[in-house]
Amino acid sequence: MLLTKAKKFIREMHHELGLNSSEMNSRFKQIENEINESGTYTHTAEELTYGAKIAWRNSNRCIGRFFWDKLEVRDLRHINNEDDFITSINNHIEHATNDGKIIPLISIFSNDLKIYNEQLLRYAGYRNAGDPKSVESTSLAASLGWIKEENDFNILPLMYSVNEEEMKYYEYPQSIIKEISITHDQYPDLEKLGLRWYAVPIISNMDLEIGGLFYHTAPFNGWYMETEIGVRNFTDEYRYNKLKDIAEAFHLDTSKTSTYWRDRALVEFNYAVYHSFKNSGVSIVDHITASKQFQQFEKREHKEGREVTGKWSWLAPPLSPSLTHNYHKGFKDTVKSPNLLYRKKESGCPFHN
Ligand code: ARG
C-alpha cells in the first residue's frame, strides 16, 4: 500500500539524517491527506534528492556504490514542454561529461515525458555494422524518420514523447558528445581498427522507485569501469565481437587456443581502453581499483549498521575476477527500497529488459 511505503521511506530518511520526529509526524499526516485526496503524494525536493542517492546505494549490480552520496540530483519535475525537455537532456550530457571529469548525475523528470532509449548515448546497430544491442532501437529510430549512412559508431538520436503525443527523435549536437579513440602505446596497429567509445554511460531505461512512487524518466550516469567496454562491449560475440581482430593487431598467434591469444589480447585491450580514456582526460576506473572501492563501501556501510546487498555475478568483474575480494564471497540479492529497477512491461517502453 502506498501510504505504508511512503511512511517507511520517510521514517528511514528522518532516522538516517537525524531529523526530528515531530516534523516526521506532521509529514506523515500531510502525505496521508494527500493520498486520501488524490490517490498519490508528492516528494519534497529534499526527499527526492535523498531517495535518489539511496536508490544508488541499494543497486545490487553496481560495483561503484562507494560514491553514492556524491550523486548530483537534478529535480526537473516541473519541466512540461518539448523545448525545455531537450535542453535539459543536452545539459545533462554536458554537465555529466564535465570536460572529461565525469560527474555522477541523475535528472528526474515528470512521467509525462518519456524516453525510449536504453542509454541517452548508444551506437546504432545494423545487420552488418554497429552495436548489435541496438538493432531494435535503431529500427525504431528509422521508423521515426531517422536516416543515416550505416556505420559502426553512429550515435542514436534521442527518442521521446511529451504528454502522450506522438513519438519523435532528436539528434544531439555533435559538440556535446565526447568520444575516445582506443589506442595502445606499444601496439600502434590497434588504432587502425578505428575503435572508439563514448565517455559517459547514461542509463535511461530504468525506473527510480522512492517510497512507493515510480519515476519512469530519470536518466542517470556514473563513469565507466574499463571492462564494460574492454571485456564486454567490444568482445562479446553478440556485441562488437572484435577479439580476433584485436589479437591480430597485437601480433598474437591466433592459430590455436593454447597460445592463450584470447586471454592475452583481453588484458592488453583493457589496458588500452583504460589508458585511452585517461590520456583523453576522461574518468574511468580499472576493475581492481573499483573492487577496492567497493570493499571500502562495504566497510563504511557495516560501520553505519547497514547490510550491503549485491548481485555476485555483476560484482565479480569479468576480467581476473579471483583477484578481487568480491569473487570470494557471497551477497544477498534482496531488493531494498528506494532503488533503480528495470522498467515494467506495462510502461509501454519497447526496450524493457
Ligand atoms: N555496461 C553498460 C555499457 O557498457 C553501462 C552500465 C552502467 N555503467 C556504469 N559504469 N555506470 O554501456
Q: Which atom of ligand 1 is nearest to the CA of 222?
A: 11
CA distance 19 to 11: 10
Q: For the chain, give the mean pLDDT.
A: 97
The x, y and z cell numbers of residue 237, run together, are 560475440
Amino acid at 302: H
* Cα of 145 from ligand 1 centre, angstroms: 28
**Alpha helices, DSSP H only, in 60-178?**
82-97, 135-143
pLDDT at 52 over 80: yes
Residue 233 Cβ < 6 Å to ligand 1: yes
Q: In the chain, what is the straight-line distance between the N-terminal and C-terminal CA atoms, in Å? A: 26
Provide, rounded to the nearest whole percent, the portion of the chain with pLDDT above 90: 97
* Spatial separation of the C-alpha atoms in residues 264 and 283, rounded to whole Å: 25
Of 235, 254, 251, 255, give the one whose Cα is nearest residue 243: 235
pLDDT tens-place string over residues 220-276: 999 999 999 999 999 999 999 999 999 999 999 999 999 999 999 999 999 999 999
Q: Is 236 in the pocket of ligand 1 (CB under 6 A)?
A: no
351 has pLDDT over 50: no
Find, among 224, 221, 213, the residue nearest to 339 by Cα: 213
Partnered with residue 197 across adjacent β-strands are 180
Closest protein CA for atom 12 of ligand 1: 201
The pLDDT value recorded for residue 343 is: 80
Segment 279-305 mean pLDDT: 98
Which residues have a catalytic role annotated?
62, 65, 223, 228
DSSP 125: B
| Closest ligand 1 atom number to CA of residue 228 | 4
Residue 346 has pLDDT above 60, yes or no: no
Task: Return the pLDDT at 34.
Answer: 98
| DSSP designation for 155 | B
37 has a pLDDT exceeding 60:
yes
pLDDT computed for residue 151 by the predictor: 97
Four-CA torsion 122, 246, 319, 340, nearest 10 degrees: 0
* Strand spans (E) along the chain: 72-76, 105-109, 113-115, 158-162, 168-170, 179-181, 196-198, 202-203, 206-210, 213-215, 220-221, 224-225, 284-285, 339-342
pLDDT of the residue at 344: 62
Q: What's the pLDDT score for residue 353?
A: 35
Across 281-287, average pLDDT = 99
Q: Is 201 in the pocket of ligand 1 (CB under 6 A)?
A: yes
pLDDT given at position 350: 45
At 345, is the pLDDT very low, low, confident or very high (cuts 50, 70, 90)?
low
DSSP 37: H
Helix, strand or coil, per DSSP, at residue 76 = strand
253 CA from centroid of ligand 1 (Å) = 31
Buried b / exposed e along 202-238 (16+ C-beta atoms within 10 A): bbbbbbbbbbbbebbbbbbbbbbbbbbbbbebbbeee
Confidence of residue 182 (pLDDT cuts 50, 70, 90): very high
